[in-house]
Chain A
Amino acid sequence: MKKKFGFFLLFLMLYYVNSFAQDEWKPQTHFTGYLNSIIEYSGHSNVSALGVPTEKHKGIGLAQAGFLATYKPLEKLEIKSTLVYSPWVRSLHDVVVEAFGQYTFNQGFKLGAGKFLTPLSPSNLYYYAPLNPSGVLPMVVSHHMFFPQSVSGIQITGSFGENLRMNYNVTYGNYYITDHVEGGIIGIQGQEEIVPFQGHYEVYEGNIPKSYLGGSGRLSFDFKEIGTLGLNIFEGTESNLVVLDAGTGNVSSLEEAKQRSLGVDLHLNIQKFKLNAEYWNADLKTTESVPIYSLVYKGYYAELIYDGGTLKPWLRYEYIEDAKAVFTDGSLVDLPMASYSSGIAYRPFYETIFKFEYRRCLVEKYQKTSYTNFKDYNYYLLSFVLSF
C-alpha cells in the first residue's frame, strides 16, 4: 500500500513538474555558421609542412567553414555542437570542435559532458571567423602548445555576482595534441617559423589520434563593462615530449611527460577601444626517461581594436618561443619569433565581413640555427566571411 502511494506521489510530482515546465518553456533551437574564403600571400620561401622548401607563396580558396547548432529542450538543459572544416583537418576528430550537453543547476553551478573548446583563452572560445576582426589567431592560441584546442570529458562552470562578477571553469578529460597545425590555404598560419615545426605532436593510430589526459582551470573577473581579468592553468597529466635523434634529426622517441601551463589574460574596454592581452608560460618535463628532458615555452600578445561600427581597424604585437625540441645529446632546437600585424574588418551587413591585414614576421633576429637563409617576411591576407 505504502509502495503504491509512493508511486502515486512520484507520478503526481512528475506530472506537475512537467506541466509547469511546459507552461514556462518552449524548446529553442539556434543555428549559425559561416564560410571563410581567403586570398593570401607570403614572402616566406620555405612554406611547407614537410620541411621541403617550395614556391608556395600564394593561395586562394575556402579556409574554413563552420556550422553551429544549439538546442534547449528545457530551460536548464542545452545541447551544443560545432563543426569546423578547414583544408588541414585530418579526420572527423578535428572537425568536431565541440559537442556537449550542459545542465544549469543555477548560475553558480553548471555541469556539462562532451567535447569542449578548452575554455582558457577567449581567443580560443571566439576563434570562429565572424567573431574576430583579424583572420589570423594569436600564436599562443593557434600553436596549441600551451593548451589543446579542445578537451573531451566533464566540465563544471558557473559565475557569481553582478557588478563584479566572478566566473570559474574546470574541465577535465582526454585531449589530443594538434600543435602547430597549419591554417589558411598555404599552411603558414600556425607554422610561422621558417623551419616547419611540430613539437610534442600527436600520434595517430590508424585514423584515431592518440589521447592524453589532462585538465584546465580558469578563474576570471568581469568588472562591469570595463573589462575582464582571467587566470588560467592547464595540466597535461599524461602528455608526451618528442626526442629527436642528434645525428639525423628524425624522431627518436616519444617520452611520457607532464605539462603545466599558466596564463593570464586581460581585456579592457575604453570607450570604443578594446585591448586584449595574454601572457603564457609552460613547462614540459619527461617523467620516465633517463635523462629527464624538459622544455619551457613562453608567449604573449597584445592587440588594440577600434570598434567603429561597420569598420574595425586593429593592431597586434606578439612574441612566442614554443618551437622547441630536444635532441638525444641534450641539445635544443629553439625557434622564437615575433610579429607585428595590422588590419581592418568591414562589416556592411551582418552576413558579410571583409578583412584585410598585413603582417611582418620577425625571425632573423631570433632564430639562431644552422640555417642561413633566415629573413623576416611579409604576409598579406584578404578574407571574405559570409555568416548567417
Chain B
Amino acid sequence: MRKYVLLLMIVVVGITVNAQGYKVIVNQSNSTSTLSEDEISKLFLKKNTKWADGKSVDPIDQVASSGVRKVFSDGVHKKSVNAIKSYWQQTIFAGTGTPPLEKSDDDEVIKYVSQNAGAIGYVSAGANISGVKELKVSR
C-alpha cells in the first residue's frame, strides 16, 4: 500500500513540476508581478501591447525548434508551435502585425530582457535568471 502511495506522490509531484516547464521573465524595472496564462498569451500575440504603466510590451520568443517554446506554446497559448506560426503568417500576409523577435536560447532571452524595459520572455524552468524578474503565472 505504501508503495502505491509513494508512486502516486511521485507521479503527482512529477506532473506538478512538469506542469510549468518554463519561467516567464520581465525586466527588473517592471512592476508587474503576476499574470494569467491568457494575459501572457495576449502579450506574446501582440493583442495587448501596453504594460499597466503605459510602457510598450516587447515580447521575445525562442526559435521554433526549441523545447521550451513547445512547452510554453502548449501551456500558455493552448496551441501548437505550428498553429502559432500559422497565426503569424496570416498577420504578416494581411499586414496586421509581425511576430516577436526570436532568440536562439535562454541566455540570449535573459540578456535581451535585462537590457529592455518593456521586454517579456520565457526560459527553461532550470535557467539561471539573475538580472531579470520572474513573473508568477496564474491560470
Interface size on A, residues (CB 8 A): 27
B7 at the interface (CB under 8 A from A): no
Q: Which of A125, A162, A310, A387 contacts B95 (CB 8 A)?
A: A125
Write the nearest CB–CB distance from A254 to chain B, whole angstroms.
33
Q: Please give the distance in Å from B65's CB to the nearest CB on chain A.
A: 11
Pick the contact of A30 from B48, B86, B98 — CB < 8 Å?
B98
**Chain B interfacial residues counted at CB < 8 A:** 19
Q: Is B13's beta carbon under 8 Å from chain A? A: no
B residues in contact with A82, CB < 8 Å:
93
For window 34-78 of B, CB contacts with A under 8 Å fall at 48-49, 64
A144 interface contact, C-beta 8 A = no
Contact B82 A30 (CB under 8 A): no
Check A131/B99 contact, CB under 8 A, given A309-B83, A350-B85.
no
Q: Does B92 contact A (CB under 8 A)?
A: yes
B94: CB under 8 A from chain A?
yes
Say whether B89 faces chain A, with CB atoms less than 8 Å apart.
Answer: yes
- Judged by a CB distance under 8 angstroms, whether B80 is at the interface is yes
B18: interface (CB < 8 Å)? no
Establish whether residues B99 and A30, one from each chain, have CB atoms under 8 Å apart when the complex forms. yes
B81, B89, B95, B99: the one within 8 Å of A130 (CB): B89
Contact A347 B82 (CB under 8 A): yes
Closest to B98 in A: A30
B48 CB contacts on chain A under 8 angstroms: 162
Chain A residue with the shortest CB-CB distance to B96: A125
Cα(A26)–Cα(B116), bound, Å: 12
- Nearest residue (CB) in B for A69 is B92
Most buried by A among B49, B80, B86, B95: B95
A126 close to chain B: CB less than 8 A: yes
Q: Report A-chain residues with C-beta under 8 Å of the C-beta of B29.
A: none
Instruction: Check B12 for interface membership: any CB of A closer than 8 A.
Output: no
- Let me know if B10 is at the binding interface, CB within 8 A: no
Give the complex CA separation of A28 and B99 in angstroms. 10
- Flag if B82 contacts A32 (CB, 8 Å): no
Task: Give me the 10 closest cross-chain CB pairs, A-B, nearest first.
Answer: A350-B82, A125-B94, A350-B85, A128-B93, A131-B90, A32-B92, A30-B92, A126-B94, A30-B98, A32-B89
